[in-house]
A and B are shown apart, each in its own frame.
Chain A
């Protein structure tokens, strides 16, 4: 950890908030995506029972 001096709280909280938000965004995106994929697969299977 570099010497952040008196601004340590400031810098670290800025980084923490940003990285947290990015992780949240990516995780939610991926979850929504896999769920959509699964839903589509199920519906497609149902509508093509002979495939």
Chain B
């Protein structure tokens, strides 16, 4: 009797993949979220205060260099959010874990806000340097295009009623969009190679950022990463709950 029981029971996914189970995922997020929120708040506040109050001015850019503590982390997260959505979409398409599809859906609004912050801080930073409120600098333009990709992705989720269909279509869009996002990056660089040669906001990686700027920047980046994780974890939980509520309501309607 015990032998047939063992062979009849399906193998439970272990380790990381066990969190594909919505209930286990919710359990994990409830345990982890409070710490995550607190850590995110601490590093964000500490990093911004350190950067804003306790760093010197740049000899070329004056006090505007302080914008780096918002612009760089948000730009990084804007890209990383999309990358996470890409991976989550692939996991959904291949392994059909609903938690993965919902995680991608949950990450998109966070990514959009990060992109918006990167765009606004980039434009504001550029204004005294370039004399205009917006300049079609290749980096900023690429982020503008990324913003449009985010909007399209979110709009498609909202437009499709059937959740699994929406998950499938948005995943395909995310894949195709990723390819075109990379293509657009090269196209935009090509398109704008004549202008703003030296004045692009590449303070973060190309130039050597002095230590005195670098460490507060690291703390801010950590803060943004932790905030992203907390938000996505929380929002995925929300999506899971909404999905379960909808399923129960559908069952009610049928009875």
| Residues in chain A within 8 A of chain B (CB atoms) | 2-8, 10-11, 13-15, 17-18, 21-22, 24-26, 29-30, 32-33, 36-37, 39-40, 43-44, 46-47
Contacts and interface: CB of A to CB of B under 8 A. Distances in A.
- The secondary structure that dominates the A interface is helix
A44 B70 contact: no
Nearest to A32: B238
Nearest to B54: A2
A26 B244 CA distance: 23
A8 B244 contact: no
Nearest to B53: A2
Interface stretch (B12-20, B86-94, B109-117, B183-191): B109-117
Contacts of A40: 241-242, 244-245, 248
Given A6-B62, A26-B231, 12 more contacts: A7-B62, A7-B64, A11-B67, A14-B71, A14-B120, A15-B52, A15-B66, A15-B67, A29-B231, A33-B238, A46-B252, A47-B248
Given A25-B231, A37-B241, A47 B252 contact: yes
Contact of A25 (B66, B113, B237): B113
Interface string B212-255: 00000000000000010001001101100110110011011000
A14 B125 contact: yes
Contacts of B117: 17-18, 21-22
A14 B231 contact: no
B124 A47 contact: no
B63 A33 contact: no
Category for how many chain B residues contact A: 35 or more
B95 to A, nearest CB: 25
B121 interface: yes
Given A2-B53, A25-B110, A43 B248 contact: yes
A29 B235 contact: yes
A24 B116 CA distance: 12
B128 interface: yes
A25 B109 contact: yes
B127 interface: yes
A26 B234 CA distance: 10
B57 interface: yes
Interface string B61-89: 01110110011001000000000000000
Contacts of B235: 29, 32-33
A7 B238 contact: no
28 contacts: A2-B63, A4-B63, A5-B62, A5-B63, A10-B67, A10-B125, A11-B67, A13-B124, A14-B121, A14-B124, A14-B125, A15-B70, A18-B121, A21-B117, A21-B120, A22-B117, A25-B109, A25-B110, A25-B231, A29-B109, A29-B234, A29-B238, A32-B235, A33-B238, A36-B242, A40-B241, A40-B245, A43-B248
